[in-house]
Amino acid sequence: MRMFYENFPFFCVFLALLSGILTTLVRDGKKARAVTLAMLLCAAVLNGAVFLETSLRNVNFTYAMGAFPAPWGNELRAGPVESMLCTVFCLVMLFSLMGGGKDLEEDILPEKQNLYYIMMDLLAASLFALSYTNDMFTGYVFIEINTIAACSIVMARDCGQTILATIRYLIMSLVGSGVFLFGVSMLYTITGHLLMPSLYPAVTALFDNDSLHYPLAVLSGMMCVGLAVKSALFPFHTWLPTAHGSATTASSAVLSGVVLKGYIILLIKIMCRVFTPEEIGSLGVGSVLFVLGACAMIYGSVWAVRETHAKRMIAYSSVAQVGYIYLGLGLCTPAGITAAIFQIVAHAFTKPLLFIATGGLIRASGHQKKLYYLRGAAWRNVAAGLGFTVGGLSMVGLPLLAGFVTKLVLGQAALAEEIPQWQMITALAAIAVSSLLNAWYYLPVILQIWKKEPEPRGPEGEVYDEHKENPGLSFRTAVLCMSIVVVLLGCLARPFVQLIARGVALL
């Protein structure tokens, strides 16, 4: 007889799926929103319970989806890392929807708002399934659910730009999932398994056979590249800025905070549970990911410096931040993976905070999206200003904020003994340069939004009314909560990193 809490991952997935399906019958946007928020809260509680149980007992468990165990049926597997990330995802989606609510109501026609929330529900379901899955093909199916839902929340704003961004996103995503699935099929042809626990010994056995290193390198490369395309790693990031920059605020926040991370978690699970990190490193795939990650850190920041459109600037900064994650993964050590997971959590809170705050600032500036017109906007919407300041400073790497800890942990992981020297130097240089560039584009914006203008004016000389825009309680709560989490992550870094490291050891 299994413990009752072990059912929770399965409950979460189906709770999200069913609330999405039932939302079809709710034609009213407000009710659909209530259903989605309630679902996310429930799922957060359930996942949090799993996290507490597993991390206190320091265990993980598998859950057969049906009467048939490992190599025959589907399985879920939950441990501290998976359940923690799922809890984070729920909370981030909850805050994003709360903070972006006003923009949502304006950007999406009332009769289609319930469809938007259906997409959000299924997005949540797919993220849970991606984190908990123990099976490569289930991973593929839920990747596809994730893709279609993510594309739909981009296009929900329904203007020419977003539809164009969506189709580019869709095509790149399908290329990614196609390459990933081809890799999985090759793995199946060689090993005859799809479940991670059965794949692990099979792959280890293949490693003893020297002649099979080449196909293993190609297929693991294909799986990594497929997931990298979907999580916008450097040369494949072209779809990201337009998609994240033009979508409605809540969508941008969810996309950059959560959706990109879902694929990376699957990648981490593949790295740790199908292969071992050392194997990935010895196949050369790790170095490729490392180099691309380092390039992304610089390239994304450089483009963010050149950008004048507020949301697109933040989107380019996402490209750089995804680079940090891949830099950590590319080190192919447990410490590197721990750093990557910490960065996933930190970025999952910081970037939505920035997007939501920017959304608030843009609303307070008469919907002008250029950075220039945001001058003094923080005084018109103080909560948004504070949120942007905290988020921006965290990205720059101010001590006691989450971003600083990421850089620190990543640097420590790169300085370990077993890391080759070129990787050590590259990693440190990339972190340093990228932090400088971050400071270069975030600090001026932070200063500008706090600069008190006697009479703030828009492009046609119209004067903004200081008190016209009331951001609302849910916006303030969302920004405040996310800011607090960012600060807490920075202050309580050490126990949290240790928690993750213990979880990684259990993966």
Window 378 to 407, contacts with other proteins (CB under 8 A): none
Query: From the CB of 170, what's the least distance to other proteins, in Å?
Result: 6
Interaction of residue 32 with other proteins, rule CB under 8 A: no
Residue 368: CB partners within 8 Å, gap ≥ 6?
362, 374, 458, 459
Indicate the DSSP class of residue 62. Answer: E
462 burial via Cβ count (<10 Å: 0-12, 13-18, 19+): exposed
Query: From the CB of 11, what's the least distance to other proteins, in Å?
Result: 9
The 38-77 contact track toward other proteins, x by CB under 8 A, reads: -------------------------xxxxxx--xxxx---
For residue 61, the surrounding DSSP H or E stretch is strand 61-64
Strands 61-64 and 75-78: antiparallel
Interaction of residue 488 with other proteins, rule CB under 8 A: no
Query: From the CB of 292, what's the least distance to other proteins, in Å?
Result: 15
Candidate list 42, 45, 52, 163; residue touching other proteins; CB under 8 A: 163
Interaction of residue 21 with other proteins, rule CB under 8 A: yes
Distance CA 262, CA 266 (A): 7
Interaction of residue 26 with other proteins, rule CB under 8 A: no
Interaction of residue 408 with other proteins, rule CB under 8 A: no
Query: From the CB of 362, what's the least distance to other proteins, in Å?
Result: 15
Window 106 to 135, contacts with other proteins (CB under 8 A): 109, 111-112, 115-116, 118-119, 122, 125, 129, 135
Nearer to other proteins, 199 or 479 (CB): 199
Smallest CA-to-CA distance from 110 within 158, 41, 161 is with 158
Interaction of residue 182 with other proteins, rule CB under 8 A: yes
Q: Which two tokens stand for residue 495?
A: 């126990």
Interaction of residue 166 with other proteins, rule CB under 8 A: yes
Q: Which two tokens stand for residue 351?
A: 């970037």
Nearer to other proteins, 112 or 367 (CB): 112
Q: How far is CA 94 from the centre of its chain?
A: 14
Q: How far is CA 221 from the centre of its chain?
A: 21
Query: From the CB of 308, what's the least distance to other proteins, in Å?
Result: 12
Nearer to other proteins, 54 or 343 (CB): 54
Interaction of residue 207 with other proteins, rule CB under 8 A: no
Interaction of residue 148 with other proteins, rule CB under 8 A: yes
Query: From the CB of 285, what's the least distance to other proteins, in Å?
Result: 13
Distance CA 254, CA 482 (A): 13
Interaction of residue 167 with other proteins, rule CB under 8 A: yes
In DSSP notation, 299-325 reads HHHHHHHH--BHHHHHHHHHHHHHHHH
Count the site residues for other proteins by CB under 8 A: 79
Distance CA 205, CA 219 (A): 16
Smallest CA-to-CA distance from 449 within 370, 353, 348, 396 is with 370
Query: From the CB of 393, what's the least distance to other proteins, in Å?
Result: 30
Interaction of residue 145 with other proteins, rule CB under 8 A: yes
- The answer to whether the beta carbons of residues 87 and 48 sit under 8 Å apart is yes
